[in-house]
């Protein structure tokens, strides 16, 4: 009968136990990156829409110009002129792990610019 224990294969077993945790951590970090990127895109699109609205240009096209396909497909821009200001809001859905897949929640980017157009 053998009394000493052999540790061969222990590292492989521990690695297999950790792989799901590592993959879950990476997926959560990627999702955080997508949330931040969506906020950035919504803010930039709102800036572009506000500038276009301020000079009576096509603000809807300006908002969607810099958005990629998956984000542009679900984007909802709007613009209004009140009190000498052109105010734009762009709503974009945050994708789940991949752009174009579902949506966790809606992000709203807001921007304003001094109205320089002919009239309301």
pLDDT score of 120 more than 60: no
Residues 6+ apart with CB under 8 A from 108: 42, 89, 90, 91
* pLDDT at residue number 3: 56
Q: What is the arithmetic mean of pLDDT over 55-67?
A: 89
pLDDT tens per residue across span 62-115 = 999 888 888 888 889 999 998 889 999 999 988 888 877 777 889 999 999 998
The predicted pLDDT at position 110 comes to 95
DSSP H or E segment with residue 81: strand 76-82
pLDDT of residue 2: 58
**Exposure b/e, 86-102, CB count within 10 A at least 16 = b:** bbbbbbbbbbeeebeee
Residues 6+ apart with CB under 8 A from 33: none
Which pLDDT band holds residue 1 (cuts at 50, 70, 90)?
A: low
28: which residues sit within 8 A by CB, 6+ positions away? none
Candidates 32, 30, 27, 34; CA nearest to 95 is: 34
Q: How far apart are CA 75 and CA 72, in angstroms?
A: 5
- The pLDDT tens digits of the residues spanning 5-45 come to 777 777 888 888 888 999 999 999 999 999 999 999 999 99
Q: What is the pTM of this model?
A: 0.79
49 closest CA partner among 40, 59, 57 = 59
> Quick check: 40 and 48 in contact, CB under 8 A?
no
């Amino acid at each position: 009968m053998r009394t000493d224990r052999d540790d061969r294969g222990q590292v492989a077993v521990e690695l297999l136990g950790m792989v799901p945790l590592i993959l879950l951590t990476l997926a959560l970090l990627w999702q955080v990156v997508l949330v931040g990127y969506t906020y950035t895109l919504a803010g930039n699109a709102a800036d572009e829409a506000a500038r276009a609205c301020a000079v009576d240009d096509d603000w809807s096209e300006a908002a969607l110009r810099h958005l990629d396909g998956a984000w542009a497909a679900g984007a909802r821009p709007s613009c209004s002129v009140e009190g000498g200001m052109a105010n734009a809001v762009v709503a974009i859905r945050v994708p789940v792990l991949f752009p174009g897949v579902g949506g966790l929640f809606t992000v709203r980017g807001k921007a304003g610019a001094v109205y320089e157009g002919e009239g309301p």
